[in-house]
């Protein structure tokens, strides 16, 4: 009771020194009805005041967005090319850092290569015939939907006489694959032995779906994900890794992931510490390159074997079009002193989980450089819920739709056609009210693969009946996609003034992409200036 009185007398005292508060004080002889009316008015006044506060906050945030920095979000389904586009931004705007990081991609490229070899062996194994060969058995990356209605196994037949010999000679790759995955995921176990050091903050390997996101600065740490081959093709003697469960394996990473793999520190020979000589990993007998180098001739024979090629054709496995394909360059990639080229890094495949942020200082004309933040998100279905929080502060979106994927299905849900998924995703982005004032640039990506596919005779109308009898050539097909995506935006956008910029891209092509990035930069800057005038 006495406490209550004290509080009341405090507020009375405060009110005497504050004329506005004194004015707001209830009259001493206020009736119940007067009190109710006063309370209602006060609540209304508070609501109005909160609304003004919110407007001020929004305006401040808008002004900040328009002036101090540009936030760009890369969106699109998994394997659409978002991370590759980010690499192109790095190559253009921080080439020194990109080059310094090239060596860090060695482990990823090795793993991509080893996994391609394994896919070939899996496709040849007699077990794969016995089990049937439905589309879900192997990563769907290189699998396509048969357009003639027949299952690939119905066509399988060619035997590969040297299969057993290939399998035996390539067995060391089983252990190597396990090691590379371990290296990419758990730094503590092997970094001494391999000269591929890791950031110790990375979390251990986990199956997708059971990941425990690490936190950095309050946000979940980005993770990487390495596609796994379905174990149904394995046998006790098959060179199929026993670290490979049926699901994809996730590897959590942190911002320092690439730094941890770089040439600094342990990637040099211990000798260099004493002599000052720059020596390399090739001196270390435990480095993964030696196993690869030793297996290279057999890998090469396997890939060049006409019976193997025939078998892959029968099974409609087109590894050449899949992510992380290096089988055409085995001698170069497995050379002991191999250093990844820019093109190799752009081709390397690591699935993104979470959101990765990169900052660049971008000069435009006489402008003294504006900070650009580019956010690269995971595109797989279970990753998309992480996108929305980034919508609020975004200035521009680059949406990637891989138009070569019209005959492929999603890895995460093999019932869904990839292009259908892209179209739906595009519609939901284009119609999003939160993004109404955000500039949107559409990359109709993987045009190089589209050309190859159409040239190989794959018909679009077998997968999209709406294409009808139009010619199955690159010009007609690409125009059709442009119109289709354009029409969806036109119908769905809540901002009819918004101009849509569409580019046909192959984001692994550095020269072409550099030109496109320049023009995207100008579009985004222009859009930003326009918004600035509206403030
Ligand atoms: N040939 C060709 N390959 C491409 C193109 N764009 C991307 N790739 C390759 O496709 C694979 C997947 O690209 P990413 O950039 O990792 O895809 P993403 O959209 O980041 O995928 P998530 O991280 O799973 O969301 C990589 O191996 C790229 O090198 C392209 O235009 N042409
Ligand atoms: Mg990615």
The interface pTM score, or ipTM, of the predicted complex is 1.00
Please give the DSSP secondary-structure letter assigned to residue 372. E
Q: Which uninterrupted H or E stretch holds 510?
A: helix 510-534
**Taking 90 as the threshold, does the pLDDT of residue 354 lie above it?**
no
CA–centroid distance, 154 to ligand 1, in Å, is 31
pLDDT of 52 over the 90 cut: no
Q: Indicate if 235 and 176 belong to the same structural domain.
A: yes
* Residue 62, pLDDT score: 64
pLDDT at 272 over 60: no
Q: Is residue 453 part of a domain?
A: yes
Cα dihedral 143, 147, 148, 150 in deg (nearest 10): 30
- Residue 499: count of CB within 10 angstroms of its CB: 11
User: Cα separation of 146 and 525, whole Å?
Assistant: 44
Question: Where is pLDDT greater, at 238 or 96?
Answer: 96
pLDDT tens-digit profile of 315-337? 889 899 899 999 999 999 999 99
The enclosing H or E element of 484 equals helix 474-492
pLDDT tens-digit map of 222-256: 344 444 433 333 333 333 334 443 344 445 444 44
Of 316, 347, 378, which marks where a domain is finished? 347
d(CA 103, CA 407): 35
Residue span of the structural domain in which 77 resides? 68-98+353-534
Confidence grade of residue 369 (pLDDT, cut at 50, 70, 90): confident
Mean pLDDT of 420-426: 97
Final residue in a domain of this structure, among 347, 368, 383 = 347
Give distance in angstroms: CA of 250 to centre of ligand 1.
17
Residues 236 and 285 in one domain: yes
Q: Report the pLDDT value the prediction gives residue 237, as an integer from 0 to 100.
A: 31
Ligand 1 atom at minimum distance from 378 CA: 25
- For residues 32-49, give the mean pLDDT: 90
Non-local (6+) Cβ contacts of 428 within 8 A are: none
Q: How far is CA 85 from CA 30, 161, 215, in A?
A: 68, 42, 25
Nearest to 78 by CA among 326, 489, 384: 384
CATH of the domain at 457: 3.40.50.300
pLDDT value of position 76: 98
Q: How far is CA 386 from CA 115, 276, 381, 389, in A?
A: 29, 47, 10, 7
Q: Is residue 175 part of a domain?
A: yes
Q: How far apart are CA 423 and CA 402, in angstroms?
A: 10
Q: What percent of the chain has pLDDT over 70?
A: 68
**Domain total for the chain?**
2
202: tokens are 């990375």
Using pLDDT thresholds of 50, 70 and 90, give the confidence band for residue 125.
confident
Over residues 477-493, mean pLDDT: 97
Banded model confidence at residue 393, pLDDT cuts 50, 70, 90: confident
Across 412-426, average pLDDT: 95
pLDDT (0 to 100) of residue 265: 45
CB 316 within 8 A of CB 146: yes
- Residues belonging to the binding site are 346-352, 445-448
Pick from 82, 84, 503, 505 the residue to mutate for probing ligand 1's pocket: most ligand atoms within 8 Å of its CB: 84
- The verdict on residue 138 lying in a domain is yes
| Least confident interval from 60-69, 195-204, 493-502 | 195-204
* 154 and 246 both lie in a single domain: yes
Protein residues with CB under 6 Å of any ligand 1 atom: 76, 78-84, 323-324, 346-347, 349, 351-352, 378-380, 445-446, 448-449, 506-508
Share of the chain above pLDDT 90, in %: 46
Banded pLDDT at 140 (limits 50, 70, 90): very low
- Computed over its alpha carbons, how large is the radius of gyration of the chain? 29
- One domain for residues 332 and 363: no
Supply φ then ψ for residue 176, to 5 degrees. -65, -40
Determine if residue 232 is left, alpha or beta; phi over 0 gives left, psi from -120 to 50 gives alpha, anything else beta: alpha
Atom number in ligand 1 closest to CA 85 = 15
């Amino acid at each position: 009771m006495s406490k209550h009185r004290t509080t009341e007398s405090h507020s009375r005292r405060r009110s005497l020194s504050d004329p506005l508060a004194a004015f707001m004080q209830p009259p001493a002889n206020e009736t119940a009805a007067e009190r109710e009316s006063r309370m209602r008015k006060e609540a209304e006044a508070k609501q109005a005041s909160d609304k003004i506060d919110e407007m001020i906050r929004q305006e401040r945030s808008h002004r900040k967005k328009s002036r101090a920095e540009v936030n760009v979000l890369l969106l699109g389904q998994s394997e659409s090319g978002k991370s590759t586009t980010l690499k192109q931004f790095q190559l253009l705007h921080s080439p020194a850092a990109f080059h310094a990081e090239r060596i860090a991609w060695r482990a990823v490229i090795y793993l991509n290569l080893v996994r391609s070899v394994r896919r070939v062996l899996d496709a040849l194994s007699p077990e794969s015939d016995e089990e049937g060969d439905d589309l879900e058995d192997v990563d769907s990356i290189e699998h396509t939907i048969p357009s003639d209605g027949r299952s690939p196994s119905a066509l399988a037949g060619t035997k590969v006489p040297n299969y057993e010999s290939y399998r035996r000679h390539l067995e060391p790759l089983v252990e190597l694959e396990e090691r590379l995955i371990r290296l990419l995921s758990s730094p503590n176990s092997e970094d001494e032995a391999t000269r591929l050091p890791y950031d110790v903050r990375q979390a251990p390997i986990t199956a997708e779906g059971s990941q425990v996101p690490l936190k950095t600065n309050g946000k979940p740490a980005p993770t990487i994900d390495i596609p796994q081959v379905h174990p149904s093709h394995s046998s006790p003697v098959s060179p199929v890794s026993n670290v490979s469960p049926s699901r994809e394996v996730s590897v959590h990473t942190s911002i320092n992931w690439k730094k941890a793999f770089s040439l600094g520190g342990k990637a040099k020979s211990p000798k260099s510490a004493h002599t000052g000589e720059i020596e390399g990993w090739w001196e270390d007998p435990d480095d993964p390159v030696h196993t690869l180098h030793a297996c290279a001739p057999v890998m090469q024979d396997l890939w060049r074997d006409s019976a193997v090629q025939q078998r892959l054709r029968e099974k409609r496995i087109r590894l050449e079009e899949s992510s992380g394909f290096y089988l055409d360059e085995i001698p170069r990639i497995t050379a002991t002193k191999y250093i990844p080229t820019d093109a190799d890094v752009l081709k390397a495949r690591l699935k993104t989980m979470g959101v990765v942020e990169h900052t660049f200082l971008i000069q435009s004309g006489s402008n003294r450089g504006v900070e650009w933040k580019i956010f690269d998100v995971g595109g797989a279905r279970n990753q998309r819920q992480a996108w929305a929080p980034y919508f609020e502060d975004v200035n521009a979106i680059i949406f990637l739709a891989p138009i070569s994927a019209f005959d492929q299905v999603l890895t995460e849900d093999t019932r869904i056609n990839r292009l259908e998924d892209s179209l739906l995703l595009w519609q939901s982005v284009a119609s999003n009210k939160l993004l109404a004032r955000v500039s949107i640039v559409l990359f109709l990506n993987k045009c190089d693969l589209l050309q190859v596919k159409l040239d190989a005779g794959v018909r679009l109308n077998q997968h999209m009946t709406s294409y009808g009898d139009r010619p199955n050539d690159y010009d007609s097909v690409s125009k059709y996609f442009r119109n289709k995506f354009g029409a969806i935006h036109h119908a769905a956008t809540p901002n009819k003034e918004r101009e849509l910029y569409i580019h046909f891209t192959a984001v692994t092509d550095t020269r072409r992409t550099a030109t496109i990035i320049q023009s995207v930069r100008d579009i985004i800057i222009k859009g930003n200036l326009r918004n600035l005038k509206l403030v």
